[in-house]
């Protein structure tokens, strides 16, 4: 099973600002912990990671994923709340996708309460900080094992 983990704009800055919202860990640390979690849980999955600050690059990766991956975990960051293009790409790719957020977007500013992507995802996990990625991986893994 191959899973692609996509992270959107500014998530490369994690660990440098707003630790009270996003935590102290860098994205590299979060990714490393996710691999350790996968190994500890004995999940038979290969994980690939990609972060970009560019909307079109996220769309390219989602389109390409159709050929190479069984599932996607995506934190579209601020594009969550603005990008119909990314939502359309997720729908067109038709690969089980889980949307992830470090913070609980539903308890924050009004403009963060909307996700265009979630309609085209099998689930959304928000508010568990870096553990959101671990819960997403567990959920997607079980989904792919038993539903695909
Ligand atoms: O909670 C999340 O995971 C978000 O996707 C994070 C995005 C935000 O726009 C979404 O509303 C919710 C922002 C990530 C930017 O993170 C930074 C962290 C440190 C320094 C600068 C940016």
pLDDT in tens, 86-115: 999 999 999 999 999 999 999 999 999 999
Q: What is the pLDDT of residue 87?
A: 98
The answer to pTM > 0.85 is: yes
Full domain range(s) for residue 102: 2-146
In angstroms, the first-to-last Cα distance of the chain is 11
Q: Which listed residue (69, 79, 101, 116) is catalytic?
A: 101
Residue 64 to residues 22, 85, 116, Cα–Cα distance (Å): 29, 15, 21
**Helices in 41-83 by DSSP H: which ranges?**
55-68
> Considering its fold, how many domains does the chain have in total?
1
Q: Which of 7, 86, 99, 103 to mutate to test the pocket of ligand 1 (most atoms within 8 A of CB)?
A: 103
81 is catalytic: no
Q: Inform me whether the pLDDT recorded for 127 exceeds 90.
A: yes
Residue 40 above 80 pLDDT? Answer: yes
Find out whether 89 and 59 touch, Cβ atoms under 8 Å: yes
CATH of the domain at 32: 3.40.50.9100
Considering the chain, what percentage of its residues have pLDDT values greater than 90?
95
Q: What is the pLDDT of residue 148?
A: 73
Per-residue pLDDT tens over the stretch 6-17: 999 999 999 998
- CA dist., res. 50 & res. 53, Å (int): 10
What's the gap in Å between 39 CA and the centre of ligand 1? 27
Which residues pair with residue 123 across a beta bridge? 98
């Amino acid at each position: 099973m191959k899973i692609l983990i996509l992270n959107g704009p500014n998530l490369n800055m994690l660990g440098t600002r707003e630790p009270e919202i996003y935590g102290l860990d860098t994205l590299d640390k979060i990714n490393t912990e996710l691999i350790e979690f996968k190994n500890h849980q004995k999940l038979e999955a290969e994980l690939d990671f990609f972060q970009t600050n560019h909307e079109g690059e996220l769309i390219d990766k989602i389109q390409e994923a159709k050929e190479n991956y069984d599932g996607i975990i995506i934190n579209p960051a601020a594009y969550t709340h603005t990008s119909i293009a990314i939502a359309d790409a997720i729908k067109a790719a038709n690969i089980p996708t889980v949307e992830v957020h470090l913070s609980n977007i539903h308890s924050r500013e009004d403009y963060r309460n909307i996700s265009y992507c979630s309609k085209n995802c099998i689930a959304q996990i928000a508010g568990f900080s870096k553990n959101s990625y671990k819960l997403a991986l567990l959920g997607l893994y079980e989904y792919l094992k038993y539903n695909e």
